[in-house]
């Protein structure tokens, strides 16, 4: 029905978000249409405010305010300027920061290699990575990517690409989640836990 085109457009826009399928997008759209408490206007205002005031840092790719670009993580002098942590997305930076386990600099690739989805090295922030390594005197690059096939391929590509640079390249260890038992772990997790073991 032509008169429902705005609703169809809303469903199409919502379904473009990560992890939102068509049916979920339809439920979200119907909830917004039926809402009597002004949620549509609140959501629209919040979206416009994010568009105006939030950007990805021009240097590391983390989320920052438009007026603070480069971000605080790039400008804080107390951070270790010799360590660079490579991650897939800005969300990963926020997660690592919440752990308080890393005090160096970051670089978000904004994706990972995936020939199946048409994502090559040209689609990632690899040129800016090389420039940063050349300009900022890093001594170690820590690859903090997941354990799926695309992440492994991306990590291997980065390791080979960085071999000619004067930096040590490492990858985060993978193992058992906190509070977990060996009997509940799969063989791949156990293999990575044993391979990434550390001296006590």
- The strand pairing partners of 86, in sequence order, are 107, 143
**Predicted TM-score of the model (pTM):** 0.82
Instruction: Return d(Cα 94, Cα 81) in angstroms, integer.
Output: 18
Q: Tokens in use for 136? A: 């900022």
Residues of the chain with CATH 1.10.8.420: 2-55
Q: Are strands 83-87 and 105-108 parallel, antiparallel or unpaired?
A: parallel
The pLDDT tens digits of the residues spanning 124-181 come to 999 999 999 999 989 999 999 988 889 999 999 999 999 998 899 999 887 777 777 7
Q: Confidence class of residue 45 from pLDDT cuts 50, 70 and 90?
A: very high
Buried b / exposed e along 38-56 (16+ C-beta atoms within 10 A): eeeeeeeeeeeeeeeeebb
Q: At the topology level of CATH, where does 77-195 sit?
A: Dna Topoisomerase Vi A Subunit; Chain: A, domain 2 (3.40.1360)
Fold of 2-55: Helicase, Ruva Protein; domain 3 (1.10.8)
Q: Where in the chain is the domain with CATH 3.40.1360.10?
A: 77-195
């Amino acid at each position: 029905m032509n008169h429902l085109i705005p609703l169809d457009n809303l469903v199409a826009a919502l379904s473009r978000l990560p992890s939102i399928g068509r049916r979920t997008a339809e439920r979200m759209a119907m909830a917004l249409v039926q809402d009597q408490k002004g949620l549509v206007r609140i959501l629209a205002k919040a979206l416009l405010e994010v568009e105006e005031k939030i950007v990805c840092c021009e240097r590391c790719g983390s989320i920052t305010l438009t007026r603070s670009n480069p971000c605080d993580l790039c400008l804080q002098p107390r951070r270790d300027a010799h360590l660079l942590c490579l991650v897939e997305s800005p969300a990963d930076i926020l997660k690592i920061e919440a752990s308080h386990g890393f005090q160096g600099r970051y670089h978000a690739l904004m994706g990972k290699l995936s020939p199946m989805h048409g994502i090559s090295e040209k689609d990632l922030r690899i040129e800016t990575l090389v420039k940063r390594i050349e300009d900022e005197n890093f001594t170690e690059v820590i690859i903090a990517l997941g354990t799926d096939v695309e992440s492994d391929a991306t990590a291997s590509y980065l390791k080979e690409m960085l071999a000619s640079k004067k930096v040590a390249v490492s990858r985060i260890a993978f193992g058992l989640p906190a509070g977990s038992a060996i009997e509940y772990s799969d063989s791949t997790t156990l293999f990575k836990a044993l391979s990434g073991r550390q001296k006590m």
